[in-house]
Structure 1
Amino acid sequence: MANEKKLYPSFQNPYLIEPTISLPDEMAVVGAGHIGPDIAYYLRTGMPDKKLYLVDVVEEPLKKAEARFKGYADKAVQKKKMKPEQAEKVLGNIVYTTDYAQLKNCGLVIEAATENLALKKKIFANLEAATSKEALLTSNTSGIPANEIFADMQYPGRSTITHFFAPAWRSLPVEVINWEGASDELINNLLWFFASTGKAPLVTDNVYSFLLNRIFESYTSEAAFLVDRATAKQVDHVAEAIVAAGPFFVLNLTGGNPLIYESQTRRMGENACYQPAHLLHSVAQWTVNRPGTKVDVPDDLAGWIKDRLLGLIFSQCFDIADRHVGTRADLNFGSIIGLGFKKGVFELMADLGDAEVKRIADAFVKERPGFPAPTRPIAEYTDFPRDILVDDKDGVRIITMRRPQAANALSAYTCDEILTELKKGEQDPAVKGFVITGYGTKAFCAGADIGGFIATLGNHAAGAEHSRSNSKVIEYIDTMDKPVVAAVNGLAMGGGVEVAMACHSRVADKKAFFQLPEITLGILPGMGGAVIPYRKWPQAAETFHGMVAEAKRLTCQDAEAIGMVQTVTSSYPEMIQAALAEVDRLSGQVPRAATGPVSIPEFTVPEAPNAGGLPLSREALSIVAQLVNEGAAADSLKAAMAMTYERCGDIVCTDAPREGVFAFMEKRKPNFTK
């Protein structure tokens, strides 16, 4: 079943795709049972102006689905995530029907019936009879290959599998299966469609269980094999170090025992090692605790459970990578957003180290002969960019920060991954320049993850090194001969602002804004935010004083007025085109930060500093003032950045960051006393 088609026909960032379709005015979901209504609700919230049909063979599940929709909408209104008029719109224009003939004008139909091949084939025969041959018809199956479902269709090339994850109305990922019968146009159109409606689509090859379920199904089946030595509660407790909820808790939640048994039985056609645990057919509900419940597990037993679970997970990762079932970046990303892993599966490997991963893999195969094992050094599996997507368009390398689950915040890896791609592209004559952007339409980058900063508290050397390490990419950009343009697709905060400011030019979506909120946490902009803007736009120094000292927002329109943003655009495609044009405009004339001292108004600290009414730490702000003033007087950006690192070391040794950062994590207002 595996094929050698290129998984992504054009771009890995789906927002770069130019579709050949528009959003359909009418759509349908077939199957009003477990996941079908959730898929339908996602379509309603993503496209409330369109018409939706929900189809089932009997009325009762349709009535239950209608009640479920109302419950979702009412809860969203209560939590102020949706206005009443929005809820009314979402709940309107839905047709609940048992009549396929009503779907004649639908441009997209998603089948979400039970995992029964004969039933699915019958549904698609009905859909072909009811819809036009231009309609896109997809199946939400967790593991049946596309060629088996669509083999008897008259026009199979307009169909593929689109696999959603529970809860489908909220969970980000959807797998799009690129099977041998699917055209590049179909895959591209679906990737664009799902991205446009709020999903994070992932492309996978046409194999049993596709990408993420190859881990989830085998992992839950493996857990059932462990109960001969451990209880379900013990297994779940140990697993919670890796995932948000243990395997047995999730099986109870989803009623997944028979589905896992069936899918693993199906996978035995690929390898006999996937024979499922018979307990999955014997137990209706597992005896479990809620996640986070303390459970006593002897150390030796806990170690064995963890090794078996990790061994299974790593085994599937090796197999997926070796067979190119999906990209390693998608698997790592999808394990977080779709499977609830606390860290991506390859990040787990990187943290453990090659030797420990090899020990776990060898021990697992010894206990479970026949399972896939690594075929090359472990380091080769983990050597890839995890946080970014890299695409080429018109000779320009487009680097997309893809962490939408964290508003594209910078992890410990992101800056180094961007730096690596810039260095590679600088040496590639086919690359004339770069665009750095964020994934989606909401956030360019929300700054740096706070976790890495916490470890530096009270340690001057660690604080300085943390800032210096993250800023390597900032300093490198200023030395580059090829232009780097930031395409700011949404909010830019903290480190995101600093990355954008470091670029040679910026274009921005009309809803974008810039903010440096560090001082409200008792820290300072550690990647140049207190020195770069003064060297590039000294005429707007007072504006930057307000951003650094009071966390004031800068709209993209105001940024355009001071020369910080070159062009304001109205859509993602328009923004990317403007960024590409900027690369061409700057070719051969890359602007750099000013050398020598720059003249700016002195940064002074008021007696009672505050940001929007929030009292600030005068001690912390005094260190910021020192940095701004001495940075402006420095002879070069490099010298000013060196001062940044030292002042970061200074500030982590004060009381302010500990209070500010932990107040942020505890969702309370900080109480600065100095």
Structure 2
Amino acid sequence: MAFSFRGRTISKVGVIGSGQIGPDIALHFVKVLHAYDVQVIVVDVAEQALEKGKAKLFKKIDKGAETGAFKPKEVDGMKSHVVFTSDYGQLKGADLVVEAATEDLPLKRRIFHQIEELVSADAILTSNSSHLEPERIFEELKHKGRSLCTHYFFPAERNPALEIIPGKDTDPEITELMMRFYEAIGKFPIHVGSRYGYAVDPVFEGLLLACVQCVDAGLGSTKEVDAVASKCLGLTVGPFTAHNLTGGNPITAHGLGDMHERLNPWFRVPESLKQIVASKGNWEVPGRGEKIDIAPEKEKAIAEELEGAYFAIVCDMLDAGIITTSDFDLLISVALDMKPPFTFMNSLGIDKALQLVEDFAKKYPDMPVSKTLKEQAASGKPWEVLDVLFEKKGNVGLITIRRPKALNALNSKVFKELDAYCEIIKNDPEIKAAVLTGFGNKAFVAGADIKEMAGLTDPAQGEAFARKGQISSANLEKIGKPVVAAMNGLGLGGGCEIAMCCTARIAPKGLRMFAGQPEVNLGLIPGMGGTQRLPRLIGFEKAAEMIRTAGPISSEQALEYGLVTELVEGDVLVRAIELARELGEGKTKVKMMEMGPLSNVPDKLPDVDIGHLSRAIDKLAVQAILEGGSMTLEDGLKNEAKRFGECWKTEDNRIGLQNFVEKGARSKAPFVHR
């Protein structure tokens, strides 16, 4: 048994280094791959490091067992599938090796020279370097095309952010494979161009330098600057605290020194950091729960200097062309858990952001003012930060909804971007078909953004909200070209509804919880076509049960019902693109949805047990299903939107939405059936 993905088989993974991050990388691999009988081998030349690394990994597994995150069988499986050893020979036959040793170029080259003698020519070799360019690390390899950098973030087993940095010799197919592989095992991989420090570390390390400069300039103490940085940049902990927690002072000192030579002269190693590293000490930072009182004028001065440094650093990345604004926003917000930079600048105003950078550069002339930032300010437009991505795969247009922290939930911004891509696909003669998918391994689209709906106050607003979503999602039907939904995970509520607007739907095998219409849990009925398209696809009885009980179905049930056209083992995207191409070229056909009135509309729906759910809302759902079945799809959608708006006439609508916002999806709302 092994993990198979896109024609590759992974039976053994190697991790080199049992220091600060290697055991955490190993934990992530063993957590997701042990069920496939994949062995994870951690190698280090130091026996003490191996002992500490194993103890650290096992302690985290045991803690997961205590909290209920891992079942006893999983605990045993993970522990039995990881080996800590000083014997490099145990890497023989590894299909993927991640080097996580010290940030030392000669050492890394020696390691990869040794590994290359042990593994096959097509085994993938990666380095968890945080700074060094892949061209330099892999310069002496015989087979450079299978090598690239994969930069993890603390803590590696939980932080989903991952920089993928191919070198000039990396095979593009390997880059694509690793992007999809890491996405499939739960990471948020972001493609970053090869440049010293990549995209994130100049921010992480540069902000520490900016904080030190604030202290050196007398703007505040390390405690005060740390507290202001946390507040103004949206950090969970300030830069000084973060470096203490991660043990990052030595590597930051090394990185800042090299950045001075390789990026721009503003980067440097301040004296206080040299002293901290030499003494193996820590910065003085606020204690847990300690409140730091700072005068407003002092706080403003510190905040503006740190914001100016932040914007200057990230815009320098744009000038270098190694990352896009959309990718950088997601990467920074996840990797460092702070305000995404370009959305942050948009909220302040681009002119204000430029002024902060220019003020910072006047104080520190070695910091260049970004040409791209100047041009953006001159345009009078905000930065483009996309939640929906588009690319052409030959004659197939690929649309990816990427809001992983919200499980790709739909909102007005997503719909606006989807509308634009529908027009592109419709008007591009080279595109014969399209695929719609979601980012990550958890959700295709897990519904609509509840926060937007919770802000509605009356039936007219509810009806208008539903019609807006209906029209946008129906644009997929009106492209005039086949569209395949690659439902890579949960398709709930609006996610299920937007998938039904596609020509065909495919799903992974074995998902116990896959699709559903849970709106009645919120005191709502489906408003993006669920009461109309679902009966047309799977029949009135099954559709009504799903809608009225909010019960989800598995991917196998979805195939049995006719909601999806086929199930796929592994990556659904490959088959979705293939199917879209077949449909676009007329090589295959699927049954099309009936757009007119249905001939089999029942007089009434079978009784179902709705439990605690609102009888008032259930009545509206039943009306929408039965009334719409006798109409054209378009008229049925309009009627659904009307009934959706009428939910706001009920007390249960307010109760359901308020309960969700305050207590979450798992809490049962105390409906009063009015």
User: Which TM-score applies when normalising by structure 1?
Assistant: 0.86
* Cα distance change of structure 1 residues 35 and 622 upon mapping to structure 2, 3 Å threshold: same
- Note the alpha carbon deviations across 1:290-335, whole angstroms, 9 max, x for none: 7887554444444444433333333233222232212333222212
Distance 2:328 2:455 in 1: 28
Distance 2:235 2:458 in 1: 31
- Note the alpha carbon deviations across 1:575-612, whole angstroms, 9 max, x for none: 54344434445999995652458763467899xx964x
Counterpart code for 1:32 = S
* Cα distance change of structure 1 residues 155 and 38 upon mapping to structure 2, 3 Å threshold: same
Distance 1:130 1:17 in 2: 22
- Structure 2 contact 484–579 (Cα < 8 Å) conserved: no
Residue 371 of structure 1 is matched in structure 2 by 368
Q: Which runs of 5+ in 2 are unaligned?
A: none
Counting matched residue pairs gives: 649
Counterpart code for 1:31 = G
* Cα distance change of structure 1 residues 550 and 106 upon mapping to structure 2, 3 Å threshold: closer
Residue 28 of structure 2 is matched in structure 1 by 42
Task: Give the secondary-structure state (helix, strand or coil) at the position aligned to 1:268.
Answer: helix
* Cα distance change of structure 1 residues 471 and 275 upon mapping to structure 2, 3 Å threshold: farther
- Structure 2 contact 387–414 (Cα < 8 Å) conserved: yes
- Structure 1 contact 506–579 (Cα < 8 Å) conserved: no
1:659 aligns to 2:655 (yes or no):
yes
Task: Give the secondary-structure state (helix, strand or coil) at the position aligned to 2:475.
Answer: helix
Residue 331 of structure 1 is matched in structure 2 by 328
Counterpart code for 2:241 = F
* Cα distance change of structure 1 residues 185 and 84 upon mapping to structure 2, 3 Å threshold: same
Distance 2:292 2:238 in 1: 12
* Cα distance change of structure 1 residues 26 and 562 upon mapping to structure 2, 3 Å threshold: closer
- Structure 1 contact 467–645 (Cα < 8 Å) conserved: yes
1:594 aligns to 2:581 (yes or no):
no
Counterpart code for 2:422 = L
Counterpart code for 2:386 = R
Distance 2:478 2:109 in 1: 59
- Structure 2 contact 124–146 (Cα < 8 Å) conserved: yes
Per-residue deviation at 1:390? 2.3
- Structure 2 contact 484–576 (Cα < 8 Å) conserved: no
Per-residue deviation at 1:34? 0.5
Residue among 245, 259, 278 paired with 2:251: 259
Residue among 63, 67, 70 paired with 1:79: 67
Higher deviation after alignment, 445-454 or 381-390 = 381-390
Distance 1:260 1:55 in 2: 25
Residue among 269, 272, 275 paired with 2:265: 272
Distance 1:290 1:670 in 2: 39
Per-residue deviation at 1:431? 0.7
Per-residue deviation at 1:497? 0.7
- Structure 1 contact 483–587 (Cα < 8 Å) conserved: no
Task: Give the secondary-structure state (helix, strand or coil) at the position aligned to 1:409.
Answer: coil
Per-residue deviation at 1:200? 2.9
Per-residue deviation at 1:463? 3.8
- Note the alpha carbon deviations across 1:515-546, whole angstroms, 9 max, x for none: 11111112232322233334x34x71222222
Listed as ranges, the matches of 1:474-513 within 5 Å are 474-512=473-511, 513=514
Listed as ranges, the matches of 1:601-640 within 5 Å are 601=602, 611=610, 613=611, 615-632=612-629, 634=631, 637=634, 639-640=635-636
Per-residue deviation at 1:345? 3.0
* Cα distance change of structure 1 residues 381 and 90 upon mapping to structure 2, 3 Å threshold: farther
Residue 523 of structure 2 is matched in structure 1 by 522
Distance 2:291 2:466 in 1: 37
- Structure 1 contact 28–108 (Cα < 8 Å) conserved: yes
1:309 aligns to 2:299 (yes or no):
no
Task: Give the secondary-structure state (helix, strand or coil) at the position aligned to 2:190.
Answer: strand
Per-residue deviation at 1:556? 3.9
Q: Which runs of 5+ in 1 are unaligned?
A: 1-14
Counterpart code for 2:431 = V
1:450 aligns to 2:450 (yes or no):
yes
- Structure 2 contact 504–590 (Cα < 8 Å) conserved: no
- Note the alpha carbon deviations across 1:224-276, whole angstroms, 9 max, x for none: 32333234444444434623333233222112223223212211112112224
Residue 4 of structure 1 is matched in structure 2 by none
- Structure 1 contact 171–338 (Cα < 8 Å) conserved: yes
Residue 59 of structure 1 is matched in structure 2 by 47
* Cα distance change of structure 1 residues 396 and 135 upon mapping to structure 2, 3 Å threshold: closer
- Structure 1 contact 438–489 (Cα < 8 Å) conserved: yes
Q: Which 4+ residue blocks in structure 1 deviate beyond 6 angstroms?
A: 290-293, 586-590, 603-606
- Note the alpha carbon deviations across 1:87-114, whole angstroms, 9 max, x for none: 2121114332223344333333322122
Counterpart code for 1:268 = H
1:114 aligns to 2:102 (yes or no):
yes
Counterpart code for 1:401 = I
Task: Give the secondary-structure state (helix, strand or coil) at the position aligned to 2:9.
Answer: coil
* Cα distance change of structure 1 residues 153 and 542 upon mapping to structure 2, 3 Å threshold: closer
Distance 2:401 2:288 in 1: 31
Distance 2:301 2:603 in 1: 62
Task: Give the secondary-structure state (helix, strand or coil) at the position aligned to 2:428.
Answer: coil
Distance 2:341 2:614 in 1: 40
Per-residue deviation at 1:491? 1.9
Distance 1:212 1:285 in 2: 22
User: Which TM-score applies when normalising by structure 2?
Assistant: 0.86
Distance 1:18 1:580 in 2: 18
Per-residue deviation at 1:401? 2.1
- Structure 1 contact 30–109 (Cα < 8 Å) conserved: yes
1:230 aligns to 2:220 (yes or no):
yes
Residue 22 of structure 1 is matched in structure 2 by 9
- Structure 2 contact 541–606 (Cα < 8 Å) conserved: no
Residue 348 of structure 1 is matched in structure 2 by 344
* Cα distance change of structure 1 residues 424 and 35 upon mapping to structure 2, 3 Å threshold: same
Per-residue deviation at 1:198? 3.3
Task: Give the secondary-structure state (helix, strand or coil) at the position aligned to 1:392.
Answer: strand
Distance 1:47 1:437 in 2: 24
Per-residue deviation at 1:35? 0.4
Per-residue deviation at 1:63? 1.0
Distance 1:543 1:134 in 2: 48
Task: Give the secondary-structure state (helix, strand or coil) at the position aligned to 1:479.
Answer: coil
Residue 187 of structure 2 is matched in structure 1 by 199
Distance 1:328 1:271 in 2: 21
Task: Give the secondary-structure state (helix, strand or coil) at the position aligned to 1:273.
Answer: coil
